[in-house]
Amino acid sequence: MAMATAEAERAGVSEVDVIATPAQKEARRLRQLRAKVRRLLPEAMRLAAQNAKYGGTGGATLKDLAKLARVAVEIRKAAEALKQSELFADLGEMQLSMMASAGKRRRQQRYDVIYREGAPSHAFYVLTRGSVLESVVGKPDPVVHDVRNSGPSGGRGYVLLGMEALFGQARASTLEALENIELIKFSTANAEGLNMSEQNAVKVAQKVFDAFVEGELACMSLFRGLPNKTLKAIVPLFTLEEHEAAVKIFDYGMPGDKVYILFHGSVSMRKRDGTVFATLVAEQGQSAGKGSADQGVGVGLPVFGEMAMIDRSTRMAAAVTATATKLLVLPVEQFAACMLLVPDIKSRLRRLKDVRHVTNARRGT
């Protein structure tokens, strides 16, 4: 029992938790699950109601909307955690949202080592669930970081960790999971020249976000096979747009002056009579290695609005946001620069269109 108690103290849990019966553990798990549902359900239901008001789901399920709502909540809380750091205290809402959007969610098992003292640092983290132990060689008292008591007044709150990555420094400590945990990882590996001591927070936020976008583009069939140097040059050509639900991105008959990549959220594609013929869904930071054949993209994030740009014609459909949405936008003014970097970009886009037509024909749309 003494060993169990010591382990419990190390993990930041009580002795009662260690000796709990299976039934008690299951009851606690159900209570935690119900609490999670209470947090996410209102947002999911709001999105579902908005989507139904503007033409029904069109292919986006309540499960899709619930996932998008969960990610939106995580991004908002991650932005709040970043704001608590003196490093990012001066960032505006847009910069914080951009920074928080650059993370990729991951899960770690109990006793997993996230990073070790002295190792090169290529990422910083936001702990979103569970607890971790931070230890330093030669210091007797390790620190436990627990989401359950790291917020204001000892309440729940996300925890920011591993910030030495922003200064190009080696790891100052070792970080180990005390239980199964969830993290948001913010990679700095592709953010060349990143050094917080020499740059202001806005530039750092932009570099982290650009590095994230580069990784997302690299996973798309549209940009498959391009060297990293070319991808880095493409990223600044795009701008980030954010829209609330039920916003018309473009309408039938409008000029085709932009190509869109759906970064996060859901967009309904509508015919002239308002009929939904396709719904695109993207969960932020989860495109890598995931197919999107239903959206005619192959792998990666969905692309839409490209053919009007290529053919210099007017829009043949309307695009309406079904949820709060983030878009990467390539305007016509930057399309020529993109063609210089990727001479076959038009043929790549046409291949993407052909894949989409085949997929839609199989689905009968």
CB atoms within 10 A of CB 87: 18
User: Any idea which residue has 């983290």 for tokens?
Assistant: 125
Q: Which helix (H) or strand (E) holds 264?
A: strand 258-270
Residue 193 phi, psi (nearest 5): 70, 20
Measured N-to-C along each axis, helices 62-84 and 93-100 cross at an angle, to the nearest 10 degrees, of: 120
pLDDT one-digit tens code per residue, 40-93: 555 555 555 555 544 444 455 566 666 677 777 777 888 888 887 777 777 777
Query: Rounded to whole angstroms, what are the CA distances from 76 to 79, 158, 159, 330?
Result: 5, 11, 13, 26
Q: Considering only CA atoms, which of 322, 291, 318, 284 is closest in space to residue 304?
A: 318
The predicted pLDDT at position 2 comes to 44
pLDDT one-digit tens code per residue, 195-217: 555 456 667 777 778 878 888 88
Residue 189 phi, psi (nearest 5): -60, -35
pTM exceeds 0.85 for this model: no
The predicted pLDDT at position 46 comes to 55
Q: How many residues are recorded in the chain?
A: 365
Residue 237 token pair: 């050509």
**Can you list the residues of the chain whose pLDDT is less than 50?**
1-17, 53-58, 198, 288-298
Please list the alpha-helical segments (H only) found in 219-331.
228-234, 306-311
Residue 139 phi, psi (nearest 5): -105, 125
Query: CA 229, 191, 349: angle at the middle one, nearest 5?
Result: 45
Environment class of 151 (CB within 10 Å of its CB; exposed 0-12, middle 13-18, buried 19+): middle
Domains (ranges, CATH) in the chain? 19-211 (2.60.120.10), 219-363 (2.60.120.10)
